[in-house]
Amino acid sequence: MKYSTDIKMFVKIFSLFLVPVAVLTGVAIFFAVYAGEIQPLRRVVDKQAEGGAEYVFARQIIERETVKYKYLSVMRQRPEILAVGSSRVLELRKEMFGKGSVFYNAGSMASSLMDLVDFVNALPQEYAPEVIIVGIDTWWFDVQYLRHRGFTDALSAPEEVYNWRAYLYASRYVLSRLIKHPTYAFTLIKGIDPFGGGRAVGIDAIEHGNGFRNDGSRQYAGYISEMRRDMTYVDREVPPIIERVREGYDPFSFGSSFAEAGPAILDEFLTLARARGITVVGIAPPFSTEVYAAMSNSHYASFLQSFKQNVAVVFASHDIHYFDFSDLKSVGIQDVYMLDGEHPTETGVALMLMDVWKETCPEGIFKNCNEMQEELAKKVADHQTTPAEIAW
């Protein structure tokens, strides 16, 4: 029948069209997988934990899965000293703690007080860090953020590598780049961090040099490159943090209300940590001068005051060291030590850490504390060190 013949012809033509599309898609998926954009997190974690080459990891197209990645890294590396908090603690680095300590930065793993509680409860019986340096953000005590449980939700979610959409989005991006620039294939194959010169896993790391180092700290290649050209302070967040405060954008909204239950949840975290034999050191990360001034003289002023009073009381009730660096003046440094309105540079963090050691060294909280302090002081004083980065 002519009708049947037409269908067969259509199928043949359509198949001829599909073959090159399938081949191109397959090639794009291959490069996306090879570059590490689509790769099981445990494989990335294993590479970074082996302790050889420095790997910088950051995806760009598919879900970053930072919480799960950080937790798996903690379980794999089993650090003695662990930094926990939001992205505002990410510039703490292993080099700051000397060669005798195993350090890991789990910054960006927690985004609420409940996340801290859930993290300690998730630790296996056979492991707990000796010390946790916890960064406490003001908005964690806001009623609207108080019960947020991003940590638990992230751990229970299926990994992106098993999501077909991840392959679709990644292959589409890679294919478009290959069509425009065929040499992009060599960029992905080489997998070189264009900023630090080490190995790069994930498209953001390969293209821009951004990402998490082996120790979990964050390499802000774009920000640091800008600061190398011009050290003038700029609030690089979009929108700028100062604008968020003035306009009442989250997390500095006009409706911000200090939750009475907040201190109790912090108390629960500190109690759980002590029960596991973990020594906690608390830090309130800094804001730029203009941001802190705006917070102190706006709708957010009473919230900030409640935060400063209540948090200090909770830590004091446990006889735990707490350092409120919210105001840069407390450390005696300037805005040039800030990446933006709420993230300090690694040099800024080092200066704060030396303040921490002045109080904690006599108590033996950190091993070889005096040596670490002396070595870090030398690095900070090195003529090649700038407010943006330390000459390691």
> What domains can be seen in the chain, in order of their start residue?
1-63+159-207 (no CATH), 66-158+231-392 (3.40.50.1110)
d(CA 374, CA 377): 5
pLDDT of residue 144: 92
pLDDT of residue 98: 85
Dihedral, CA of residue 196, residue 201, residue 204 and residue 210, to nearest 10: -30
Please answer whether residues 292 and 328 qualify as being in contact, where contact means their C-beta atoms are separated by less than 8 angstroms: yes
pLDDT of residue 277: 97
Please answer whether residues 206 and 177 qualify as being in contact, where contact means their C-beta atoms are separated by less than 8 angstroms: no
pLDDT of residue 5: 66
> How far is the CA of 23 from the CAs of 20, 61, 175, 206, 345, in angstroms?
5, 21, 11, 24, 45
> How far is the CA of 26 from the CAs of 90, 159, 342, in angstroms?
36, 21, 42
pLDDT of residue 48: 96
Q: What is the distance, to the nearest Å, from the Cα of residue 96 to the centroid of all Cα atoms in its chain?
A: 17
Q: What is the distance, to the nearest Å, from the Cα of residue 49 to the centroid of all Cα atoms in its chain?
A: 17
d(CA 107, CA 194): 23
CA-based nearest residue to 371, from 100, 94, 92, 80: 100
Please answer whether residues 242 and 298 qualify as being in contact, where contact means their C-beta atoms are separated by less than 8 angstroms: no
Q: Kindly calculate the radius of gyration of the chain based on its CA atoms and give it in whole angstroms.
A: 24
pLDDT of residue 101: 81
pLDDT of residue 6: 64
Tell me the HSE value of 3 on the side-chain side, using a 13 A CA sphere: 0
Q: What is the distance, to the nearest Å, from the Cα of residue 330 to the centroid of all Cα atoms in its chain?
A: 24
pLDDT of residue 10: 56
d(CA 50, CA 70): 16
pLDDT of residue 296: 97
pLDDT of residue 11: 55
d(CA 257, CA 42): 39
Q: Which parts of the chain sit beneath pLDDT 70?
A: 1-21
CA-based nearest residue to 284, from 297, 266, 302, 265: 266
pLDDT of residue 3: 54
Average pLDDT in the chain? 94
